[in-house]
Amino acid sequence: MRKAEIDEAVYELEQFYSKKCDELNSNGWSFNTTNDAPESFTGLRYRTQDKCVPIADYGSELTIYSKPYYNYYNRFWHDVTHLQLGKGFSFADETTVILEQCRQLAEAGVSINAQRVFWADMYEQSKYYEDNNAFVNNQKQFVYTKLLGVF
């Protein structure tokens, strides 16, 4: 992919996340940002009260998204998908959740390029964590490197 194609796909994802957030809200889900987000599935289930999901308010500065709230929207959708599927935070369960989100993206008619960007952002970072037991420091650089094929 070229940088311009990635940027266009990111914009498309941002629009999708906004709509998905509205859809989840209309189904009774909401979120609040916190500096103390759960780090386990058990914690996520316990801390989600009345379908209000606690979302980390940190780690959104160096993402591919133009504003931190788009990353919050993605995290919100991701965590609701965890809860709906009853899947934990193991790499296998993360992959299942991400694949379900990919199915929803395709079903909504999101472009292949946007789906590729989503995969690089979600799956590739999850795989990085599995392999290194650490989060990616600069998510934007990591995703662009994956998609541009620069190693």
Q: What is the C-alpha separation between 88 and 40, in angstroms, rounded?
A: 7
Give Cα separations from 144 to 1, 44, 124 (angstroms). Answer: 9, 30, 11
- Listed in sequence order, the DSSP H helices in 32-111 are 41-47, 68-85, 91-107
For the record, the structure tokens of 45 come out as: 């289930």
> pLDDT at position 59, please?
82
> pLDDT at position 60, please?
84
Could you read off the pLDDT of 67-122 as tens digits, one per residue? 999 999 999 999 999 999 999 999 999 999 999 999 999 999 999 999 999 999 99
Rounded percentage of the chain residues whose pLDDT exceeds 70: 99
Torsion, Cα of 127, 62, 87, 31 (10° steps): 180
pLDDT at residue 151 above 50?
no
pTM over 0.85: yes
